[in-house]
Amino acid sequence: MKSVDEYVDLMSKLNLPNPKMMDVAVPANMRQGLAQEEIARKGWARTPADVMKAHDDAKLALIDLREKSEREKVGAIPHSINAPYTDLVMNIRPGGILHELARSSGKEIVFYCAFGERSAMAVRAAREAGLANTTHLHGGVDAWRKAGGALVH
């Protein structure tokens, strides 16, 4: 994909019932859309090992962009904050919970989702909104789990 618009067009043509969970319904989209590799090349991605080490040192604020039902089904990274992707625009603007968390805590904001697509888009949006100290967990909670990361239910 060459643009967000092209990605949105492709995904809308799939006629799936719940497009906000597209990366759960169609894991193959990891190779489409906003390629996570592009985000990684910009230095805006962290590996599960990076996050595990920094998370243990309390240097990060982990933001789970998944819906409540996804968290209940799969589990969540311990001590993460649930702020669904559908509320992202409201949460990253001045006065929004993520904007204020970034401003007041000084911690790096690390977004994550199921497979990394929503979190890659969230990093781009957050940086465009002026939140420079933001990254995402490359590969999402799926990569975290495969790397032996703990999950809580």
Q: How many CA atoms within 13 Å lie on the side-chain side of 145?
A: 13
* Domains, the chain, ordered by start: 36-146 (3.40.250.10)
- DSSP letter for 27, please: G
Residues 6+ apart with CB under 8 A from 139: 36, 48, 115, 116, 146
- Rounded Cα gap, residues 127 and 57, in angstroms: 24
Range 113-139 average pLDDT = 94
CA angle 87/49/74 to nearest 5° reads 50
pLDDT digits (tens, 9 = 90+) for 92-125: 999 999 999 999 998 999 999 999 989 999 999 9
pLDDT digits (tens, 9 = 90+) for 10-44: 877 877 666 555 555 555 454 445 567 888 889 99
Predicted local distance difference test score (pLDDT) of residue 7: 80
Range 77-98 average pLDDT = 95
**Predicted structure pTM score:** 0.77
Predicted local distance difference test score (pLDDT) of residue 31: 47
- Rounded Cα gap, residues 153 and 151, in angstroms: 7
Strand order from edge to edge, sheet including 134-137: 45-46, 134-137, 108-112, 60-64, 81-82
